[in-house]
Structure 1
């Protein structure tokens, strides 16, 4: 379906660099009719696609873009960055390329939405945000889960005290990818393969949403990071990574883990309070419901209530694109739901996890 725009909507002109699976999902979602998700103020138009070869860019356009005749293919990323008809660049390249890709796009005067992880170190992230501020350009890490309809209602339960004072959160994202070839990006050290960079941003997300953003926490970063890493024997990337974090102001703890060799659990995020629990159901990057379970007391029996928030239009990546559009329309450099501060905090934690867990940093830097 095409993406019609009304006379009152603001249209974002997108350039897409990379032609992999995540880019396919993104372009599919932003081409859906915005009205199907209740969006009337923002529309999206893809104006250019770039790959390492012109043929791949052209093939991507033919296979995945509806209004293909209005899209320009490029065989280099720089050619796309230089295209005056591109307003915002979506970056879905391999992890270690993000830093250079974002830097080149900003230096060409383009706004940027870059896939997670934004960079492979906190130092790189800090440098890119400083550059964006200097050039007065929008940039955001693409953690699409933050913009899904389930997030705000779940936060309201936790922040409002419905399950009492928060004491801990268990947040996991596990997936068994099976017998991958050693050159696959998930097993390739030179592509920053492994669990932490690929799945880790999602398992880190939920402690951020429920504990870091908790009003009583005052946006205080976690401390006392205690990691444990099991390295995959095939190529040495991190296969299972876990760590504990403390949120001192809340008196709360987060246990976070991710794995590329463990089957996905149905209830991977559990928030525990003094009065009960909140459990999110479904895969960590797009849960579709949550259950509030209140413990029994002297005055009332235990009680469970489930609330559903299904994603009925696409995969759910369009909400973050809509948020980008509103920021561009309103002249904002960062989005309130995905602030630069939180991306930098994540990368600092990941730095500590890698160093403390014995990761050979020379593999990815």
Structure 2
């Protein structure tokens, strides 16, 4: 049987779109995928058609591939099966709704939206229109992440009661980001939380929440957040979140079980200093030991299983096939979901994306971080 092929349209031409496309163009057999394949058939740049043509050339997309200077033209292209939205967070809601209006399935970059209200409407619209929608949290679909979730579910480290996760860069913020870059620009929903903190929260949720049966998952019962705002723009440059979940995993024992998590992100200090010993980015702590994850939280390549008492510490390497960055695994998930007629991925259901957005809403509320009304709006269309 021939692989199930998915035809992609790419909305935006920044570096993350480039990384995604280059992964899409790799032979799926390199990663052991023989049941699906990917074709890029259209690219749109909001700046100009020539920029879209440059992107096609730079990434090596084979002909035929259409170039457009509006996102509307791309979503209206009948050859496009699914749209990959790679615009800033501020534009996700409007761009996804545009694709839905044209009857297109969507993979939308993280953070899913600016707020939970927008996320809920997107999911409701997808269901109503019978369209597939997934938040592009690529880390969820790494074999490393899948293995760690399975280790938790099999009680390898006992009952998991605490998770520590950090995703921080050590930048000179004024020098590197200034005031206009999307990382610190509130008009583009900038700040550490939505761009980097989403990965810390991803590890918290995929270990303490997602490892439970779907009917047993409960949102955090307590959220306490501390946020430091960047003096030049008011976006957050550092955020720490303490969460309590009303359950533990995998058995929620002893009852009533509770678990805690600390999710951190920072623009000025790094998770690991470059000339020091490598420390784990994530620590998943259970009653029988812990799992330590190494490498940036968004793209780790190694983990260690450390038993509590006597027992062998195991190191597990999870290299990325070929020269790939790992975005092909989320694309493969989209292809299989479309092939199987699913509207959402079991790996990151709509309900979970919404709960994570609700947590970030509360964190912003406690930190005093607001964005312009236009990008917080649930009205479609709203000019941005």
Structure 1 length-normalised TM:
0.94
| Contact residue 160 and residue 287 of structure 2 kept, 8 A | yes
What is the CA–CA distance in structure 2 between the aligned matches of 1:8 and 1:362, rounded to whole Å?
Answer: 48
| Contact residue 184 and residue 235 of structure 2 kept, 8 A | yes
What is the CA–CA distance in structure 2 between the aligned matches of 1:362 and 1:326, rounded to whole Å?
Answer: 37
Match of 2:329 in 1: 319
| Contact residue 187 and residue 371 of structure 2 kept, 8 A | no
Match of 1:46 in 2: 40
Match of 1:4 in 2: none
| Contact residue 14 and residue 46 of structure 1 kept, 8 A | yes
Task: Please report how far the alpha carbon of residue 303 of structure 1 lies from its aligned counterpart in structure 2 after TM superposition.
Answer: 4.0
For the pair 1:294 / 2:289, whether they are aligned, the reply is no
Pick which of 134-143 and 7-16 moved more. Answer: 7-16
Match of 2:194 in 1: 197
Match of 1:62 in 2: 57
Match of 2:380 in 1: none
| Contact residue 8 and residue 81 of structure 2 kept, 8 A | yes
Match of 1:3 in 2: none
Partner of residue 183 from structure 2, selected from 182, 186, 189: 186
For the pair 1:307 / 2:304, whether they are aligned, the reply is no
Deviations 1:227-279 (A, max 9, x none): 00011123221000111111112221011111122213341100111221110
3-state SS of the aligned residue for 2:90?
Answer: helix
Deviations 1:181-209 (A, max 9, x none): 32111111111111011012211111111
Partner of residue 37 from structure 1, selected from 31, 42, 60: 31
Match of 2:262 in 1: 255
Matches within 5 A, 1:342-353: 342-353=352-363
For the pair 1:158 / 2:171, whether they are aligned, the reply is no
What is the CA–CA distance in structure 2 between the aligned matches of 1:26 and 1:9, rounded to whole Å?
Answer: 20
Match of 2:111 in 1: 117
Task: Please report how far the alpha carbon of residue 312 of structure 1 lies from its aligned counterpart in structure 2 after TM superposition.
Answer: 2.3
3-state SS of the aligned residue for 1:233?
Answer: coil
| Contact residue 18 and residue 50 of structure 1 kept, 8 A | yes
Deviations 1:50-88 (A, max 9, x none): 001111111111111330x30000000000011001110
Consecutive unaligned residues in structure 1, runs of 5 or more: 1-6
| Contact residue 354 and residue 361 of structure 1 kept, 8 A | no
What is the CA–CA distance in structure 2 between the aligned matches of 1:324 and 1:264, rounded to whole Å?
Answer: 31
| Contact residue 230 and residue 241 of structure 1 kept, 8 A | yes
Partner of residue 169 from structure 1, selected from 153, 163, 167: 163
3-state SS of the aligned residue for 1:126?
Answer: helix
Equivalenced residue count is: 354
Task: Please report how far the alpha carbon of residue 21 of structure 1 lies from its aligned counterpart in structure 2 after TM superposition.
Answer: 0.4
Consecutive unaligned residues in structure 2, runs of 5 or more: 249-257, 273-278, 377-384
What is the CA–CA distance in structure 2 between the aligned matches of 1:182 and 1:356, rounded to whole Å?
Answer: 23
What is the CA–CA distance in structure 2 between the aligned matches of 1:85 and 1:49, rounded to whole Å?
Answer: 12
Matches within 5 A, 1:180-259: 180=176, 181-215=178-212, 218-250=216-248, 251-259=258-266
Match of 1:264 in 2: 271
For the pair 1:100 / 2:97, whether they are aligned, the reply is no
For the pair 1:329 / 2:316, whether they are aligned, the reply is no
Partner of residue 9 from structure 1, selected from 3, 8, 15: 3
| Contact residue 212 and residue 222 of structure 1 kept, 8 A | no
